[in-house]
């Protein structure tokens, strides 16, 4: 949808500037009139080539965390939001983040709320982020909410970092295995096949199969490469959809180690986010609806929606959680305590901390759990190659 930059005058006679999303220029004028703004000038924004390239790149999690924490610090120090955004625009090292901050600054200077300005970037700021900022603006506790939000984002970033770190070693070994296999098929096996053929050796079935695979690699390597690239792009495109994410999650959930880690990670995200939303003054029903939009796990996504419907009918969160087998008894028990004491947000926060610790311990043991599997695969591949190569050589030496 096109974005229009406007200069306008409000009902009090003050000058307002900013951006508005609309399909046409007349639609933009109509939207501004609804806000009691008299349009002085209106121009459609055009993206430069650099902006188009930058828009394809994501903003690093570290930049979002730094933006949130620094803005909270500046507001608590008494700086106006607009001035804080000016300082952040000068400090950020990411060109994409700087562009977002400057666009947000123009909207805020034009009279828009911070939450409305940030909502234009859903790929950077989640529905939870926007809802919390809006709640902070409404309650007057924006700096406090931004600080808690930064802590939550930092915890999520640390989990991603630890999980990635745990997967680096297994990933390197796996890629090395594939690389060695491909090199053997392309360079080593063809030369051995020529040697065996010149000596007239009767080859065993395993060696013949290995040579046949090698011939396919040598003759049709471009086809294998094309299929590999196409498969990668197709899988990546599929996994970017909601159906694809649910499909992948269902597979990962069935794996012994990954399933446990992902479930604990999702429970951490579910309870922490719900705690943060409720503590910010957002109703429990609306909080659950927001949680359902950001949780990838289909079990917890559907659970959040079902829980919100239960509450709308007069039930309680703990009552629903007891009936949903995907939530451990600890969650429903602690939710019941929180409802009885009137401290649901605090109790959910502690539950989130518990699951976060459990997830961290599970991630630390991930590499250790994968090492035996990798060694078995590596040993099997090496053994297969050795048997296929050595058996004919043994026959040759026996015949001498």
Q: What are phi and psi of 315, to 5 degrees?
A: -80, -175
Residue-wise burial string across 197-207, b where 16 or more C-beta atoms lie within 10 A, e elsewhere: eeeebebeeeb
Whether residue 320 lies inside any domain: the answer is yes
Q: What are phi and psi of 342, to 5 degrees?
A: 75, 20
The CA–CA distances, whole Å, from 386 to 62, 99, 198 equal 47, 57, 21
Whether residue 124 lies inside any domain: the answer is no
Residue 60: burial class (beta carbons within 10 Å; 0-12, 13-18, 19+): middle
278: closest CA among 325, 362, 198, 347?
347
Q: 288, 294 in Cβ contact below 8 A?
A: no
Q: What is the CATH number of the domain that holds 314?
A: 1.20.81.30
Q: What are phi and psi of 186, to 5 degrees?
A: -90, -35
The H or E element containing residue 186 is: none
Whether residue 357 lies inside any domain: the answer is yes
Q: What is the CA radius of gyration of the chain?
A: 29
pLDDT per residue as tens, the chain (400 positions): 466 777 888 777 778 777 766 667 887 788 778 777 788 888 876 554 444 444 445 688 889 999 999 999 999 999 999 999 999 988 887 888 888 999 899 889 888 899 989 988 888 898 889 989 998 998 888 999 999 899 989 988 888 888 888 778 888 888 888 888 888 888 888 888 888 888 777 788 888 888 888 888 888 888 888 998 999 999 988 887 878 877 888 888 888 778 888 889 899 989 999 999 998 888 999 999 999 888 888 889 999 999 999 999 999 999 999 999 999 999 999 999 999 999 999 999 999 999 988 988 888 777 777 778 888 888 888 788 778 777 777 777 766 5
The three-class DSSP label of residue 330 is helix
Q: 143, 75 in Cβ contact below 8 A?
A: yes
CA distance 170 to 258: 14
Say which DSSP state 111 is in. Answer: T
Whether residue 112 lies inside any domain: the answer is no
Whether residue 265 lies inside any domain: the answer is yes
Q: What is the CATH number of the domain that holds 3?
A: 3.10.20
Whether residue 298 lies inside any domain: the answer is yes
Whether residue 274 lies inside any domain: the answer is yes
Whether residue 360 lies inside any domain: the answer is yes
pTM of the model: 0.69
Q: What's the domain count of the chain?
A: 2
Full domain range(s) for residue 18? 1-46
């Amino acid at each position: 949808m096109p974005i229009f930059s406007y200069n306008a005058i409000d009902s009090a006679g003050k000058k307002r500037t900013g951006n508005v999303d609309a399909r046409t220029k007349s639609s933009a004028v109509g939207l501004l009139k609804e806000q009691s703004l008299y349009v002085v000038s209106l121009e459609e924004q055009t993206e430069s080539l650099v902006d188009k390239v930058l828009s394809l790149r994501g903003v690093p999690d570290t930049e979002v965390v730094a933006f949130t924490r620094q803005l909270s610090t500046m507001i608590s120090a008494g700086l106006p939001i607009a001035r804080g955004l000016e300082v952040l625009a000068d400090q950020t090292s990411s060109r994409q983040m700087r562009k977002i901050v400057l666009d947000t600054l123009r909207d805020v200077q034009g009279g828009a709320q911070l939450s409305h300005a940030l909502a234009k970037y859903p790929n950077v700021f989640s529905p939870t982020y926007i809802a919390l900022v809006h709640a902070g603006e409404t309650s007057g506790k924006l700096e406090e909410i931004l600080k808690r939000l930064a802590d939550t984002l930092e915890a999520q970033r640390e989990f991603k970092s630890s999980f990635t770190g745990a997967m680096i070693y297994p990933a390197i070994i796996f890629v090395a295995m594939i690389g060695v296999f491909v090199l053997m098929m392309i360079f080593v096996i063809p030369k051995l096949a020529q040697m065996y053929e010149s000596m007239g050796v009767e080859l065993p079935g395993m060696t013949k199969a290995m040579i046949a695979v090698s011939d396919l690699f040598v003759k049709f390597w471009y086809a294998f490469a094309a299929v590999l690239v196409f498969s990668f792009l197709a899988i990546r495109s599929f996994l970017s959809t909601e159906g694809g994410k649910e499909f992948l999650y269902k597979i990962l959930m069935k794996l012994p180690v990954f399933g446990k880690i992902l479930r604990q990670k999702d429970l951490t995200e579910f309870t922490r986010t719900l705690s943060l939303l409720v503590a910010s003054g957002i109703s429990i029903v609306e909080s659950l609806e927001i949680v359902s939009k950001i949780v990838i796990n289909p079990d917890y996504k559907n659970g959040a929606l079902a829980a919100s419907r239960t509450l709308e009918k007069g039930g309680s969160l703990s009552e629903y959680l007891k009936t949903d087998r995907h939530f451990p008894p600890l969650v429903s028990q602690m939710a019941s305590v929180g409802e009885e004491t009137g401290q649901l947000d605090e109790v959910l926060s502690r539950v989130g901390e518990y699951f976060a610790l459990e997830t961290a311990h599970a991630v630390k043991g991930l590499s250790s759990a994968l090492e035996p599997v990798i060694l078995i695969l590596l040993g099997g591949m090496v053994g297969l190659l050795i048997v296929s190569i050595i058996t004919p050589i043994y026959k040759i030496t026996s015949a001498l």
